[in-house]
Amino acid sequence: MEKKIFEVSVIGASGYAGAELVRILLSHPNVHLAALSSVSYTGQSIADLYPSYREICEKTLVSEEEAVEKGDVVFASLPHGLSQEIALRCSEKGKLFIDLGADFRLENGETYTQWYGKDYIYPELHEKSVYGLSEIYREDIKKAKIIGNPGCYPTSVALALYPAIKNGLVKADDFIVDSKSGVTGAGKSLTQKTHFPECNEAFSPYSIGKHRHTPEIEQTLSHFAHSPVRITFVPHLLPVNRGIISTVYAEKNSGFGIEEIHGIYRKTYENERFVRVLPLGDVANLKNVKMSNFCDISLHEDIHTSKLIIVSAIDNMVKGAAGQAVQNMNIALGLDETAGINFVPPAI
């Protein structure tokens, strides 16, 4: 049988997540890279911006309009507020649209305005969109034409807590989430905190109690719990390029030992290629998921306080962004879910 090939465009290809999408899609067996777009670098070659693509991909960056026209599937990797018009054009043309930004992650328009300072200008598009947490909402993604790719921190936290909340292992009303991310999570634009002298040999929290991913995390956990969930979320900036470690503290419900909890986690994710529940005693480490679409989860117990401590590790550029976006594309198109993203993490 002839292999199906889809024409795929990437808008925002000059950013870190966009460039990662290009890297992944170039190796995808069912993809032809139709067009790459960048407002800031239109007319330049992607290889001029990222020399690692020389003699592999030297496509000229074109306009958003051309990218939409050429793609059966359109990815947008743009700052918040810039994807809704593109989604509308894709919807009108019957194309699959996957947004790596924040425009289609939140269900409530007022919440989006509160946290992002923008409005939902096409409410009907948001009613049709699906939240693309691949392992949890797979059946919805199969039918979607507009997919809001989750944020990197929300992916790490949701996968860490899903089995615990779903199975009533913890009190699902309040969680403490302590997360650390590599510098690429801040995007390509230079800021004071991502300037090399500021972040090298340094480690500190930021956006304490007010990070924009907070409502997205709470929205997803509330769906799991079927009741409102609140979190205390503190992200930190790690002086590394890639990776997220999230440590989640939850109060256990009585009657559950760590061995039983571990067994429930293993059962929940036993058929998920990209979620690895580590043996008891092991600790999730971002080194072991780097350059891959894996989420590693380790479970720990604080007997003194009856707390369950869950540690999850992902590569923020892959499972936290481009890799999960391609996973969602595979699901929506009926392809092998692992196509193009079945990377083995480097050993060293």
Among residues 57, 90, 152, 295, the one annotated as catalytic is: 152
Cβ(244)–Cβ(153) under 8 Å? yes
Cβ(141)–Cβ(328) under 8 Å? yes
Spatial separation of the C-alpha atoms in residues 60 and 201, rounded to whole Å: 37
Q: Where are the extended beta strands (E) located within 257-306?
A: 275-277, 295-302
* 90 tagged catalytic: no
Phi first, then psi: give them for residue 160, nearest 5 degrees.
-65, -40
The amino acid at residue 199 is C
In this structure, the strands spanning 307-314 and 244-251 are antiparallel
Q: Which two tokens stand for residue 234?
A: 């503190």
- For residue 280, give Cα distances in angstroms to 9, 161, 189, 276, 298: 42, 17, 40, 12, 7
Spatial separation of the C-alpha atoms in residues 208 and 234, rounded to whole Å: 5
Task: List residues with catalytic annotation.
Answer: 152
